[in-house]
Structure 1
Amino acid sequence: MRLVFAGTPAAAVPTLRRLAASHDIAAVVTRPDAPLGRRRVLTASPVAQAAEELGLPIIKAARLDDAVTAEITALEVDLGVIVAYGGLVREPLLSAPRAGWINLHFSLLPAWRGAAPVQRALIAGDAVLGASVFQLVAELDAGDVFATRAVDVPETATAGEALEALASEGAGLTADVVSSIADGTALAVPQEGEPTFAAKLTLADGLLDWSQPLDAVFARFRGVTPEPGAHTTVAGQPLKVLEAAPAPEAESLAPGRLRGTKTALHIGTGTTPLAVTRVQPAGKGAMNAVDWWRGLRGGDELVAGA
């Protein structure tokens, strides 16, 4: 098939590569270069980098306006494929490809429609994650579904790690759907059940509430790692929590109380402590959590979140 592909982050790259191996990609639409790192260096999106490597035409656009719509329409493609592009597809672009657009979404629809499905699912404590390929319609993530796939991820997997696994599985799922559309065997069915919604995460979503039970604290840590990042405050100073795991056998601590061991920094929750192994203090690089704790004054008297 002759396709137009729209996507931006690393999670969209496996699908682009898979489709490029079997179909004619007329153009790749992605977000413009963005400043990254401390030096704010303008950097092409992961999808743009992959498209350049594959020798594919690239359209960089912050939104799919009239000019971009005209450019894509002129390509006369059979199908549009979108994976986490970061912008809305509206009419008349929605109807420009002969078979419309399909969307790879990283949830088992109608669960977690919206911008941050994997993150919100982990924060909510969902035991099963998955991916869906559906027909794109004007309403948010509400189109008929061609295929879904549940994906097992480790109980300790962060959102970044889970998304990597889902991106790999989703690439094959999307390729199968495109092939079925090409040969006329594709069948999409309406979504069933009450939808839930996954709003975009903000920095505030990463704040760890140590008064909550360990399961809830760790679920939030998983859901906000690596972005926007888990964080707390110690002695009035912000501290990013980069690596952590439950410590069910650890000595009980009051919520937020810190205690260092030889291998980890334990922080009390509403139940059992969380073992933190890597942190990033304000204005410094990432470091071993125990080394950071040893450099503090106050030791066990300090309380996270206070």
Structure 2
Amino acid sequence: MRIVFMGTPAFAVPTLDMLAQRHDVALVVTQPDRVSGRGGHSRYSAVKKRALELGLPVLQPARLDDDAVSDIRDASPEAICVAAFGMLLPPTVLSVPPHGCLNVHASLLPAYRGAAPIQRAILSGDRETGVSIMLMEEGLDTGPYALQRTLPIEDLYADEVELRLAGLGADALAEVLAGLPDSVTWTPQDAGEATYAAKITKDDVALDPELHVDEAFRRVRAATRRAPARACLGDREVTVKRATPVEADVAPGGLCLADGYPVLGFSGGALRLDVLRPAGKGDMSGRDWARGARLAADVCWRCTR
């Protein structure tokens, strides 16, 4: 099948790989390069990097205007496949392919429509999440779905869930494409059951001694590079990257060492900081950080807000 693929971050790369192996990818559409770092260097999206490695043509519109729509139409796709593209598709794009625009969405729709379904599922304490292959409409993730695959969340972190869902989504999309147009049934979403997954903010994942330890652990696991889980240990601000709930005789707001690792007290328990990132530095083990920090015996910790 002739395909136009639209995607941007690493989550979309397994889907692109699958399409390149099984179909004719006429065009890859991704977000424009971003400027990053102190040197102001341009950074490719993960999808652009992989598309160039595969020798596929790449289009990077700042918006889906008439010129971009014309380029997509000229590619003559039978279907447009989308995975975390980052822009809403206007009707002029949705109407191009005869088999429609199929989206790999990282939730079990109608739950968690929107930008941060993985993080919101973790923060809510859900036991499972999944992917949905959805036929796109003008609304935000409102279209009917053809196939869903589930994944237990357990104690996984957001990046681990994303990696697993990326593979599940690619496989599910392959199955749906193989059934088009006659062997696919589209199930309408129940709008009354819909929830919205807004982008994660720093406040959503901020660590506070008054939190229950279970909530604090979910915040660490749901944190992202742009919305990190931070705390002040004494007078030192750190980002908590990996942690483990432990039993420790430490009150909320208290800080102690266990096997050399810093342990933060919360309501109902404590978190051992396995991996953290000090301000202006890279990731390191909690033990290495504590060795260098030489914390006072009576030191406490607090929220950064």
- Aligned-residue offset at 1:181: 1.3
- Structure 1 residues 226 and 245, CA, compared in 2 at 3 Å: closer, same or farther? farther
Q: Deviations over 1:153-201 (max 9, x none)?
A: 4x2211000100000111000111111115x211101013511110012
Structure 1 range deviating more: 237-246 or 102-111: 237-246
Give the corresponding residue for 1:205. Answer: 204
- Aligned-residue offset at 1:54: 1.0
- Structure 1 residues 38 and 291, CA, compared in 2 at 3 Å: closer, same or farther? farther
CA distance in structure 1 between the aligned counterparts of 2:206 and 2:111, rounded to whole angstroms: 24
Alignment of 1:34-183 (within 5 A): 34-37=34-37, 39-153=39-153, 155-182=154-181
CA distance in structure 2 between the aligned counterparts of 1:41 and 1:277, rounded to whole angstroms: 32
- Aligned-residue offset at 1:238: 2.4
- Residue in structure 1 matching 2:269, options 264, 268, 272: 272
Q: Deviations over 1:179-232 (max 9, x none)?
A: 1115x2111010135111100122333311221111111111111145522111
Give the corresponding residue for 1:223. Answer: 222
Give the corresponding residue for 2:259. Answer: 262
- Structure 1 residues 38 and 278, CA, compared in 2 at 3 Å: closer, same or farther? farther
Give the corresponding residue for 1:22. Answer: 22
- Aligned-residue offset at 1:262: 1.9
- Give yes or no for contact 1:158–1:225 (8 Å, CA) kept in 2: no
- Give yes or no for contact 2:208–2:302 (8 Å, CA) kept in 1: no
Code of the residue aligned with 2:223 in structure 1: it is V
TM-score (norm 2): 0.94
- Structure 1 gaps of 5+ residues are none
Give the corresponding residue for 1:185. Answer: 183
Code of the residue aligned with 2:160 in structure 1: it is E
SS across alignment from 1:87: coil
SS across alignment from 2:27: strand
- Aligned-residue offset at 1:284: 2.3
CA distance in structure 1 between the aligned counterparts of 2:107 and 2:299, rounded to whole angstroms: 43
- Give yes or no for contact 1:144–1:189 (8 Å, CA) kept in 2: yes
The answer to whether residue 275 in structure 2 is matched with residue 287 in structure 1 is: no
CA distance in structure 1 between the aligned counterparts of 2:203 and 2:240, rounded to whole angstroms: 14
CA distance in structure 2 between the aligned counterparts of 1:176 and 1:300, rounded to whole angstroms: 59
CA distance in structure 2 between the aligned counterparts of 1:241 and 1:32, rounded to whole angstroms: 31
- Give yes or no for contact 1:7–1:47 (8 Å, CA) kept in 2: yes
- Aligned-residue offset at 1:283: 1.9
Structure 1 range deviating more: 235-244 or 7-16: 235-244
Give the corresponding residue for 2:301. Answer: 303
CA distance in structure 2 between the aligned counterparts of 1:12 and 1:187, rounded to whole angstroms: 24
The Cα RMSD (Å) is 1.7
- Aligned-residue offset at 1:236: 4.7
- Give yes or no for contact 2:261–2:290 (8 Å, CA) kept in 1: no
CA distance in structure 2 between the aligned counterparts of 1:61 and 1:252, rounded to whole angstroms: 56
CA distance in structure 2 between the aligned counterparts of 1:45 and 1:304, rounded to whole angstroms: 36
Q: Kindly tell me the number of residue pairs found equivalent between the two proteins.
A: 302
- Structure 1 residues 82 and 237, CA, compared in 2 at 3 Å: closer, same or farther? same
- Structure 2 gaps of 5+ residues are none
